[in-house]
Structure 1
Amino acid sequence: MSASTAWSDESFQEHDDAGFYIIAAAVIPDDALDQAREAMLRLQAKHAPAKLHWTKRDNAERAELARTVAALDGLHVVAVGAPVGPRRQERARAHCLNLLVCELHGFGVKHLFMEARDQVLNARDVATVQQARYALPKEAVFRLDHLPGAAEPLLWVADIVAGAVRAEKLGEPRYREILRERVIDFPVEVR
């Protein structure tokens, strides 16, 4: 698989003792990007006026979303940070993003696109990636850019993967089971 880009979104579950943070990255071969975008746009036309969003779908729609992503060429790399206590979301995000950069580099990814938040939070992500690059080989190239969620359908792939992994962590494994070997998840200890 030759993929130089990855497309990322996150999910978070707040809980006093058992919270977790998920960052999913869709690693789609360069020659399959247009096909994946088209698949997401077909789902959007069927289900949503703007971007597809896992949390706004019912169980049948979620199963359809997971089946569509499972049929796409590619692999999905997921960092799952736990435990995450209240008001520790950004710390967990940084730990997950740090690990994700290293894992994505190992798959040949050189450019990560994440769903944009606000300017300050986007700058934190950039700083985290800059720090994570120190763990990569000296000549390694790795870049991060933020995009509005509605502007890039490939971000929706990552949203679906993050949603399926989140559902599994909450006791509903059926969506993650649909994705099976398309997802590799890495635990991240967050303290």
Structure 2
Amino acid sequence: MTVHAFVDESARGGSYLLCATIVEPAHLTTTRRALSSLLLRGARELHFKKEKEPRRRMLIDRMAGMPVTARLYRSTCAPKTEETARQRCLTLLAEQLLGLQAHRLVLDSRDHRDGHDRQTLQRALGFRPSKTELTYEHVDSTAEPLLWISDAVAWCFGAGGDWRRRASPVIAERFEAG
């Protein structure tokens, strides 16, 4: 069965975290609908960093009950090396997505920095046959609710303690990318 992956990031304390939420096609519509129902009136997206603590607890608990899994990719970094850390994580993710028979990779857009991701993905996937059937694109998080899970899980894991515990039911695997 093919899967779709939705990617966001979090950086703190010398660690760069790339989170890929993995969703089977049969669950895409219902999970998007469930996430959209969590929006406050007038809001266009869930951004975990901006939410108040009680609401964060409720959001991650709800997300933990959704039919998704998350894969975390961690790399050490200093403030000026975050881009390098991201590309190390993204390379490893791209290689593993082929093994998962992923069909679509959606990354939260970072505007002018999206070009770095495209170069990395072309390098990681370019030597493979063109029939990998893995497509990728950058979108704004207001347009794709499934990115919100990756945002929340990465934030919670980076925060540690009870936040990491709350996100743990969603996290299927963790990888070190250097």
Alignment partner, residue 164 of structure 2 = 176
1:67 pairs with one of 61, 70, 76: 61
**TM-score normalised to the size of structure 2?**
0.90
Summarize the alignment of residues 70-89 of structure 1 with structure 2, pairs less than 5 Å apart.
70-82=64-76, 84-89=77-82
**TM-score normalised to the size of structure 1?**
0.84
Equivalent position amino acid for 1:148 in 2: D
Per-residue CA shift, 1:66-94, capped at 9, x if unaligned?
A: 11111111211111111x01200110110
In 1, Cα distance between the equivalents of 2:174 and 2:126? 22
In 2, Cα distance between the equivalents of 1:157 and 1:136? 29
Secondary structure of 1:149's counterpart equals coil
Summarize the alignment of residues 59-138 of structure 1 with structure 2, pairs less than 5 Å apart.
59-82=53-76, 84-119=77-112, 121-134=113-126
- Pair 1:28-2:23 in alignment: yes
Q: Tell me if structure 2 keeps the 8 A contact 1:78–1:100.
A: no
Q: How many residues align?
A: 177
Distance 1:118 1:138, change over 3 A: closer
In 2, Cα distance between the equivalents of 1:163 and 1:108? 27
In 1, Cα distance between the equivalents of 2:129 and 2:53? 43
Alignment partner, residue 4 of structure 2 = 5
Q: Tell me if structure 1 keeps the 8 A contact 2:157–2:167.
A: no
Runs of 4+ with deviation above 6 angstroms: none
Q: Tell me if structure 2 keeps the 8 A contact 1:7–1:155.
A: yes
1:49 pairs with one of 43, 46, 50: 43
Distance 1:141 1:175, change over 3 A: same
- Pair 1:185-2:169 in alignment: no
In 1, Cα distance between the equivalents of 2:8 and 2:45? 13
Summarize the alignment of residues 151-162 of structure 1 with structure 2, pairs less than 5 Å apart.
151-162=143-154
CA RMSD of aligned residues (A): 1.9
Structure 1 segments unaligned to the other structure (5+ residues): none
Identity %: 27
Structure 2 segments unaligned to the other structure (5+ residues): none
